[in-house]
Structure 1
């Protein structure tokens, strides 16, 4: 059986995988290992995504969040339920008093780990909003994975709350 001619195979898959595996980054954490998305320092690489009210976060925001007609504790529980239900996702730390949550999600093919950081922010007794930060733990590009993850999670939380947002 002749050997396959590898000279004509495209190199772009190897290049993309190599770029995704380059570099690395860390996130500022609290004493309990929780990442606070309102004070996170954004990386200089295009592998993270932040949803937040601009007035609530120190870093540049990718998409503004909405105000939900739900008390902060109810919104926090909705986020916790939705994140816990995601495939390949593990909630690592929770601070119910400060309404902070950190989780990790592994990619289905290579098992690369992405970090999720959530903070629910009370607006009034009956309304609240959130900051959600999603970041690839390693690599330079994420090919839109963090943006898609954040958008999908927001939709799931709206559904979980019955559209009250």
Structure 2
């Protein structure tokens, strides 16, 4: 490891990496997401997955998959899948909206990414979801947000 990484690890162990990042870059915006009015930034450090017509204000979205289970069962499977993920903390759960916000931090530096997911019922006991994953610091995430959501969806066992 380089001297800078070792120094970062030592200072982070004393003061906490999250506190240092917030001191250097400011607090991340963790306000609640409204998918219907969401307009992601133009920077390439986000990933948005929505059912057709659900995220109307967004310029570009990836279509969401559909599941052959009710929304409550999909949500339960999602939360079980999150329990198996490293460095994930639940920030907020809105039962009325069936929406959950979680934070996942990067391994070495501890950069925070926030993932918001809303579970949506469909006819005939089916469901889908809307997912917005975003980095709070930097301009590019090198595809981390897209890769995270694709991996999580592959690991999902409703």
Q: Where on the TM-score scale, by shorter chain, does this alignment land: which range?
A: 0.7 to 0.9
Going from structure 1 to structure 2, the CA distance change for 1:45 and 1:26 (only over 3 Å counts) comes to farther
**CA–CA distance in 2 between the matches of 1:125 and 1:76?**
17
Q: Cα RMSD (Å) of the superposition? A: 2.2
Measure how far apart 1:22 and its partner are: 8.2
After TM superposition, give the deviation of residue 85 of structure 1 in Å: 2.2
TM-score (norm 1): 0.73
Is 2:132 the counterpart of 1:130? Answer: no
Contact 2:35–2:54 (Cα < 8 Å) also in 1: no
1:54 to 30, 45, 52: 52
Note the residue ranges of structure 1 that are not aligned, 5 or more in a row.
1-20
The residue number in structure 1 matching 2:76 is 77
Higher Rg of the two aligned structures: 1
Name structure 2 gaps, 5 residues minimum: 1-23
Distance (whole Å) between structure 1 residues aligned to residue 104 and residue 28 of structure 2:
16
Q: Which has the higher strand share?
A: 2
TM-score by length of 2: 0.76
- Mapping of 1:104-119 within 5 angstroms? 104-119=103-118
Q: Which aligned segments of 4 or more residues in structure 1 are displaced greater than 6 angstroms?
A: 21-25
Greater percentage in helix: 2
| In 2, Cα distance between equivalents of 1:70 and 1:61 | 27
